[in-house]
Amino acid sequence: MFPCLRLSSLCDLHTLQPIISQRSFICQQLVQRYCSSKADQYDLVVIGGGSGGLACSKEAAILGKKVAVLDFVDPSSQGTTWGLGGTCVNVGCIPKKLMHQAAILGHHLKEATSYGWTYPSNEPATHDWSVLVENVTNYIKSLNFGHRTALMDKNVQYINAKGSLLDGNRIMTINKKNEKKQIYADNIVIATGMRPKTIQEVPGMTENSITSDDIFWLNKPPGKTLVIGGSYVALECAGFLSGLGYDTTLMLRSIPLRGFDQQMADLVLRHLEHSGVHIVRGTPKSNTKQKDGRLEVTWQSGSDVYDTVLLAIGREANTKDLGILDIGVDVDQNTGHIVGGYGGESERTSIPNIYAIGDILHGRPELTPVAIQAGKLLARRLYGTSLEAMDYELIPTTVFTPLEYSCAGLSEEEAESRFPDEIEVYHSYYKPLEYSLPHSSSEHCYIKVVCLRQFPHKVIGIHITGPNSGEVLQGFAVAMRTDSLTLQVLQSSVGIHPTTAEELVKLHITKRSGLDPTVSEC
Ligand code: FAD
Ligand code: NDP
């Protein structure tokens, strides 16, 4: 009646594992025959239905394979939960960009009077948090629905259950009702992503704080908010909260945007301050809920009371409950990420038929397009005729702070350390035309292009702070991938006038020259 149990007692599956992984025909047949009904056997099972997992599973199904994708969301520490699509759709890129846009619109409303707009009451515009959250979350729910439909259309089996590995081919699934079921796969892709960290050692911090898993779904307005952290999530959240009119403080324990060009990071931080975010240096010591429900936070040199504390201190890999250590998947000791690179393939783990993509893969950029591209290419290599590997170099990115910062390639510091005394930096401050009528400050709008000093001055890094800098950079990042973007190519290109992107083809001042790179009018 339970052939699986009989098989397990006859044959130690841990011993069987390497043989199965080497695709021993007999063992695969045994496991398939005894452990699953035909319906539960797949060519590919993907664990994690986020950016990478969805892309990989759909591509494999397009290539004619029988595919299942498991997705399960553990509620956040504050009980927030959401649907299919992973971090980007539910608690990442999408709601973040919409709230960034909400803040930008508020700023434009203030500038609009310089362009002749008047408001009937002559009162400043007010913002309703609950309308924003309702519209954002409704949009997210439509995306959740769209992802489910897309899986159905492509014949991918969606299983709303948590998966863990029993061996190299068998996956235990547990659904919301705690019902367990084993499924079988020839190949397994782990795409389980990451979740926000909390600070357990600081009294009250975990229970009294929210994270990025909660902020976009918060029913009541956040009010006066302390954001703790100094990287992407912290700076972006502080930016849109302040832009929406909330008294916002950013608590930094060290430098902002570690790993990014520090001159650019400094401009981003100064612009945040300029737009109203208070900056506090330190680390929190306690977070205590007062009788009125407000939160008193103390740090080395002070204390204050907030309505909301948002922890944005990094993310941890979702590998803990996956059972992968037991079956011998190599995991980084410090971060819990899955180590890839086995067999010369970036996404292949220490078990040959188990792969990892997206945020869970050790040492790769934690960005949605990276997860999607890696997932698609992996499916094509596994089931198509393609040999194309994911190229993790030259990945462009944008930090969506009120003044966006976008970059591709090396920071000035990295370039200097890789090519000492061999780089030339072209730079310029610039004034976006749209800033002119409202007399908006352009003191933080800056472009830096890092080149090799040797002719033809290959471009190895581009950095821009400015409005819509993500839109501006995408095309330049494509050009960099051709390996033939040089300063000469930039300088001989004809700009599109009047745009901010044209500033990139007008650069002529080197840092070494000491000439003034500050803006001069058109
Ligand atoms: P995820 O999208 O996280 O998907 C993993 C899925 O697996 C989740 O649904 C999870 O619940 C599920 N899961 C976990 N364990 C199991 C299990 N055992 N069984 C079943 N299911 C499981 N990137 C950008 O490119 N641009 C941005 O602007 C941007 N903004 C961001 C803003 C924020 C606030 C955050 C937090 C991230 C942002 N990112 C952004 C990063 C981006 O969201 C991630 O890089 C991307 O979502 C990673 O995709 P993934 O497939 O690796 O994992
Ligand atoms: P990061 O790991 O990039 O940064 C964590 C930040 O928190 C650092 O500034 C760190 O400081 C600080 N920190 C860590 N521990 C503590 C502590 N105990 N007390 C106070 N501060 C602390 O995390 P993020 O969550 O910001 O971003 C995660 C990833 O998500 C990013 O790498 C990015 O790939 C992706 N993302 C992408 C976005 C985009 O594309 N626009 C937007 C948001 C996220 P220190 O430097 O001193 O260690």
- Considering the domain architecture, whether residues 176 and 273 belong to the same structural domain is answered as no
Residues of the chain with pLDDT > 70: what percent?
A: 93
pLDDT at 39: 84
Residue 514 lies in a domain: no
Token pair in block for residue 110: 């203030």
Give the tens place of pLDDT for each residue, 330-347. 999 999 999 999 999 999
Known binding-site positions for FAD: 97, 163, 359
Q: Are residues 363 and 416 in the same domain?
A: no
Domain that holds residue 407: 403-505
Q: Evaluate if residue 310 carries a pLDDT over 70.
A: yes
Summarize pLDDT for 31-57 with one digit per residue, the tens: 554 555 788 999 999 999 999 999 999
In a shared domain, residues 31 and 41? no
Query: What DSSP designation does 192 have?
Result: -
Please list the alpha-helical segments (H only) found in 113-220: 129-153, 205-208, 212-215
Residue 185: enclosing H or E segment and its boundaries?
A: strand 180-190
| Residues 5 and 26 placed together within one structural domain of the fold | yes
> How many domains does the chain divide into?
4
In this structure, the answer to whether residues 30 and 55 fall within a common structural domain is: no
- Residue 445 sits in the same domain as residue 349: no
SS3 of 133, please? helix
Q: Is the CB of 48 under 6 A from ligand 2?
A: no
Q: State whether 61 and 185 are in the same domain.
A: yes
Q: What is the pLDDT of residue 320?
A: 87
- Amino acid 11: pLDDT: 37
- Look at residue 343 and tell me if it is in a domain: yes
Q: Which residues sit with their C-beta closer than 6 Å to ligand 1?
A: 47-53, 70-73, 86-88, 92-93, 96, 162-163, 191-193, 212, 233, 318, 321-322, 358-360, 366-369, 371, 400
Which of 293, 219, 280, 290 has the alpha carbon at shortest distance from 248? 280
Residue 123: predicted pLDDT:
80
Structure token digits, residue 20 = 């199965």
309 and 327 together in one domain: no
Q: Answer yes or no: is 106 within a domain.
A: no
Over 50: is that where the pLDDT of 121 sits? yes
In a domain, 388, yes or no: no
Q: Do 66 and 31 have their domain in common?
A: no
Domain final residue, candidates 265, 290, 313: 313
Average pLDDT over residues 486-500: 97
- Among candidate residues 296, 313, 330, the one where a domain is terminated: 313
Say if residue 56 is exposed, middle or buried (CB neighbours under 10 Å; 0-12, 13-18, 19+): buried
pLDDT at position 125 is 87
The model's confidence at residue 520, banded by pLDDT at 50, 70 and 90, is low
Domain-located, residue 100: no
Average pLDDT rounded to a whole number, residues 56-62 = 98
**What is the C-alpha separation between 284 and 287, in angstroms, rounded?**
8
Give a yes or no: residue 43 inside a domain. Answer: yes
Determine the average pLDDT of the residues in 455-462. 96
User: pTM of the prediction?
Assistant: 0.94
Are 268 and 337 within one domain? no
Question: How high is the pLDDT of residue 301?
Answer: 93
pLDDT value for 21: 47
* Ligand that comes closest to the CA of residue 191: 1
Q: Are residue 258 and residue 281 in the same domain, yes or no? A: yes
How high is the mean pLDDT of the chain? 93
pLDDT in tens, 290-304: 999 999 999 999 999
- Binding-site entries for NAD(+): 229-236, 314
Is the domain of 342 the same as that of 487? no
- The CATH number of the domain holding residue 498 is 3.30.390.30
- Assign residue 175 the CATH number of its domain: 3.50.50.60
- What angle, rounded to 10 degrees, do the helices at 368-383 and 51-62 form? 30
Pocket lining: 199 vs ligand 2, CB cutoff 6 Å: yes
Integer angstrom CA distances of residue 81 from 76, 78, 212, 234, 367? 7, 9, 12, 21, 21
pLDDT of 23 strictly over 70: no
Between CA 70 and CA 60 the distance in angstroms is 15
Per residue in 332-386, pLDDT (tens digit) is 999 999 999 999 999 999 999 999 999 999 999 999 999 999 999 999 999 999 9
Active centre residues (catalytic): 497
Residue 466 lies inside a defined structural domain of this protein: yes
- Whether residue 516 is contained in a domain is answered as no
